[in-house]
Amino acid sequence: MHTGQRNFTALPVIDISGLYGDAPTRRQAVADQLGAAAREVGFFYITGHGIDPQLIAGLREASRALFAQPMPWKMRYYIGDAWGHKGYVPEGEEVYSKGRPDHKEAFDIGFEVPDDHPLVLAGTPLIGNNKWPELPGFKAAVSRYYEAVFALGRTLFRGFALALGQPEDAFESLVTCPPSKLRLIHYPVDLEAVDAPGIGAHTDYECFTLLLADQPGLEVMNDQGAWIDAPPCSVAGEEAFVINIGDMLEVMTAGAFPATSHRVRKVQQERYSFPLFFACDYHTRIRPLPQFASGSEDATRYGELSIGEHMYSQAQQTYTYLKRKVEAGELAMSADALKPGSFGYTRSRTTAGG
């Protein structure tokens, strides 16, 4: 595991435009910066990403229109009534920290998969088409944004491969039909909130997350246990994305790239947040890469992990509708399921049932 201090007080900013160039040396130079930020912070901003501002504006407009609808209309698309764990998530549906519901609502969009796809026919959790709301322009705006940011995620994954001393395309075959979710999240105005949590402290389950938000509130934990603000950032008029390392990259690097605990707090103004969680395919099994797999005490802490089972078991412990199904015996949780908080600085390698 990386032994240097991660006692950061701010997030680094990395211009990734070199990843799109023809010069291998430029791509490697950016990759080296990605690797350093992953080891030393676990969260960082990226600029030079090339995402069209009009796509971002269209996403925000579609989100405002969606969340402005009356609750009965939104509940027509309730995530608990849809196959594939997609759709509307009302306030109180998710519980991350100490049994307290999150103060937010969301709409979850996944990698679009047709009904006749083999994974869908096999009943694979988290995989399937989306339950698009009947709202003019919504599907087009959100789909265009998803495609652009997912492509950005592929570019970053190539950069992480280089940062880890792998061929640039080393991880390409792992991302063909992934359970990569885009969340449209709305934090309502609460003028009486006093340091109230919006999302409890947690790590993200996937490889990494690409986030845009329009207001402060995100906080990141350093290795001293201090919470560091990560407000929205723009450079030369370009909105920066926040990137953070998730559980899967922590496993692949045996902790050299730790997943970093984060939360949303002090939400006293309306806030919209758009994370895309970049994952590998559901049935991918990961373990520490060869250079991390031996010669280190930390490597022994990381066994093989099924990506899909990990993601689904975490959701089963977070979403109320899935918890109820597990308790009623309608769903079975993986015997290898880990408790939320099993990664990052607060990790405990115990099972969910232990």
Give pLDDT, residue 299.
Answer: 61
Number of domains forming the structure of the chain: 1
The highest-confidence range among 35-39, 202-206, 338-342, by mean pLDDT, is: 35-39
Q: Which residues 6+ apart lie within 8 Å of 92 measured at CB?
A: 101, 102, 320
Q: What is the largest CA-CA distance in the chain?
A: 57
To the nearest whole number, what is the mean pLDDT of the chain?
88
Task: Look at residue 349 and tell me if it is in a domain.
Answer: no
Q: Within a domain: residue 171? A: yes
What confidence score (pLDDT) does residue 6 get? 80
Whole-number percent of the chain with pLDDT over 90: 68
Asked if residue 74 is part of any domain, the answer here is yes
Determine, yes or no, domain membership for 344. no
Q: Please, what is the Cα angle at 351 between 78 and 185, to 5 degrees?
A: 30
pLDDT at residue 217, as a whole number: 84
DSSP states of 132-170 as a string?
Answer: --S-TTHHHHHHHHHHHHHHHHHHHHHHHHHHTT--TTT
Closest CA to 161 of 150, 174, 148: 174
- Check which CATH number belongs to the domain holding 172 and give it: 2.60.120.330
Please give the residue range of the domain that contains residue 135: 13-310
Structure confidence at residue 266 as a pLDDT band (50, 70, 90): low
